[in-house]
Amino acid sequence: MSFTILNTIIMLSLLGMVAAVILYVIAQRFKVIEDPRIDIVADTLPGANCGGCGFAGCRSLAEALVKADSLEGLLCPPGGSETMAKIAVILDRQPAAVEPKVAVVRCNGTPENCARITNYDGAINCRVAHSLYRGTTACQYGCLGCGDCVTACKFDAMVMDPVTKLPVIFDDKCVACGACVKACPRNIIELRKKSRKDRKIYVSCVNRDKGGPAKKACNVACIGCGKCVKVCAYDAITVTDNLAFIDSSKCKMCRKCVAECPTGAIIELNFPVREQTEASRLEPDVKE
């Protein structure tokens, strides 16, 4: 009896030792040498796996960062400049200049501005609605209001406003990962440069129709008249396909275009209230 037990122990120990030797040899022979910095960089990243950087997840970005010669063009949007600076220290490289950005919804087609002319009772999904018809309004470019962008946002930075039927973005929570930009089938959401005190000036419209039809579809549509282009002193505004666009890197927030726009398509946000005199209109504050 005792011999059986002893025999078993010896046999198992021998088997274990042989297996250990085989495993050791294989582990040495097929060893994957990985840069230890990848793990450190991956731990520094936020770990949301949002995909905003353009890679599959945080670890993929970490691998790319470690491999790359310079940090130019590689950016973790949620982490922003703070995280990128930390990574630059770890990798001992020059930190690339990071421009903080924020998402804006370029549509102001509230029921008040843009009349609802049809009903939709299909699946509540923007892409389904987009493939079926132009939407509940006469504008074939505007927000469909099904909230695909809100579903796509992993940072709770978006919500659908039940009154305006448009998505609202909370600037403090938005990390500019771009998930909503990809989710929107109509390319309404844009990432713009963040300004002091979250101030914003942008064309809140994506209608590319000529003036007449655009205005007919929506009261606050951009009609491509070009008045804003003429008034802009910084060449920040261009009109293509009957639609004005303000380049956020050139805009100095002078607000001249806002006053000039005949339809009110250009929107200013988070600015102090204007004094309603002609003089203040002509002399906008340029404090940047």
Partner 1 sequence: MFKSFPKGGIHPPENKMTAGNPIEVLPVPSAVTIPLAQHIGAPAVAIVAKGDEVKTGQLIATAKGFVSANIHSPVSGKVVKIDTTIDTTGYKQPAVFIEVSGDEWVDTIDRSQVIEKEIKLDREAIINKCMECGIVGLGGATFPTHVKMGIPAGKKCDLLIINGVECEPYLTSDHRLMLENGEEILTGVSIIMKALGVEKAIVGIEANKPDAIKSLSDLTSGFKGISIQPLKVKYPQGGEKQLIKACCNREVPSGKLPLDVNVVVQNVGTAYAVYEAVQKNKPLFERVVTVTGKHLPKPGNMKVRIGTPVSALIEAAGGMPDDTGKIVNGGPMMGKALADLDVPVTKGTSGIILFPSEESKRSEVTPCIRCGKCVTACAMGLEPWYLSAASEREMFDKTEAAKITDCMECGSCSFVCPANRPLLDYIRLGKSTVMRMIRERNTK
The residues binding partner 1 (CB under 8 A) are 117-118, 121-123, 125, 127-128, 131-135, 140, 209
Least distance from partner 1 to the Cβ atom of residue 121, Å: 5
Which residue number, 8 or 118, has a Cβ lying nearer to partner 1? 118
Report angle CA 182, 187, 190 to the nearest 5 degrees: 80
Q: What b-and-e string marks burial along 114-132, b requiring 16 or more CB atoms within 10 Å of the CB?
A: beeeeebeeeeebeebbee
Least distance from partner 1 to the Cβ atom of residue 10, Å: 52
Which residue number, 125 or 219, has a Cβ lying nearer to partner 1? 125
Which residue number, 139 or 251, has a Cβ lying nearer to partner 1? 139
Neighbours of 153 (CB within 10 A): 24
Confirm if 263 and 220 have CB atoms less than 8 A apart: yes
The residue whose two tokens read 């930075």 is: 157
Neighbours of 136 (CB within 10 A): 20
Which residue number, 59 or 130, has a Cβ lying nearer to partner 1? 130
The candidate with the shortest Cα–Cα distance to 190, out of 75, 276, 104, is: 104
Least distance from partner 1 to the Cβ atom of residue 111, Å: 17
Which residue number, 118 or 187, has a Cβ lying nearer to partner 1? 118
Least distance from partner 1 to the Cβ atom of residue 231, Å: 30
Helix ranges (H only) for 45-116 are: 58-67, 80-91
**How far, in Å, CA of 114 to CA of 16, rounded?**
76
**How far, in Å, CA of 111 to CA of 219, rounded?**
10
Neighbours of 19 (CB within 10 A): 10
**How far, in Å, CA of 4 to CA of 12, rounded?**
12
Least distance from partner 1 to the Cβ atom of residue 186, Å: 12
Least distance from partner 1 to the Cβ atom of residue 117, Å: 8
Least distance from partner 1 to the Cβ atom of residue 126, Å: 10
Which residue number, 110 or 125, has a Cβ lying nearer to partner 1? 125
Counting every residue written for the chain, the total comes to: 288
Which residue number, 50 or 266, has a Cβ lying nearer to partner 1? 50
